[in-house]
Structure 1
Amino acid sequence: MTDSRPRLDHVVLWVRDPIAAAGFYEKAVGLEPLRVDEFAAGEVSFPSVRLNEETILDLAPRDRAHGMDMLPGAADSAGHPVNHVCLSLPAAAFDALRARLQEHGVPVTGLSHDAYGARGHARRSFYFRDPDGNVLEARHYDWGSGQEL
């Protein structure tokens, strides 16, 4: 049986330096970089980082916004990031991310509790910014307790 539910494939984030952004997402956030060497060699338009087996974050260079002409006005979105992107993690990975961000000197907010999201109420969450000002939220539900939501 095929699961035909919609899935989030990718989110495009505007960044000043895609290679530096990929490094941030790899080292501070722990995501796998994709196509960085190909981008550096001029073979692809942007690199990405893998969030999970189904979803990636594309790191689009702001200075190439003029080429984003898939529909009228699309190039005008450069410099207007989404409000935030939320990463949902198991409890241990949530704790590891927070520690890794702090080790890299990335400011993080205090913990929020019981915030509502796609899987119900999250146990804990916090926010941080990438070097380009994109806001990310990290959260976990009850995954650390063996209770999957």
Structure 2
Amino acid sequence: MALPTALKTLDGAPLSPETLENKVVLFVNVASKCGLTPQYSGLVALDQEYGDRGLVIVGVPCNQFGAQEPGTPDEIKDFTKTKYDVDFTLLEKQDVNGANRSPLYQFLVGDGPDIAWNFGKFLVGRNGEVIERFEPQTAPDDANLKAAIEKALG
């Protein structure tokens, strides 16, 4: 199974395949009303630190955990920009678990266990294959996560 190419941004526009092509991508299922929501700050910092070296952060809003992402696309965009100055890519809201799991998360999870909560992270290499999965409690500034990003970037 390959990384799906028919991804849509939060505003419903197709995500250009060039956005992810030959990049290291960190996919994160995000939510605006979660105890882990402050991780947005760390994701912005990762984007600033590694973006020019080929890291792309992709946030995937999900409302499956405690209904902690109830907002409309505009509300999500406004919240993340105003509160955390997010300018990395946000995709349309998706299910990451269950019968309606999105094609993206079917690819990312594979045969692995369900996503435990908001802010689960998947690092995907330049070749489009999942390198490593990090649980929600793994902060964006975690040494193991940063080491995996460094290694993937080369």
Give the TM-score normalised by structure 1.
0.29
Which structure has the highest strand share of the two?
Answer: 1
Look at both structures and tell me which one has the larger radius of gyration over its CA atoms: 1
Higher relative contact order (CA 8 A, sep 6+): 2
Give the TM-score normalised by structure 2.
0.28
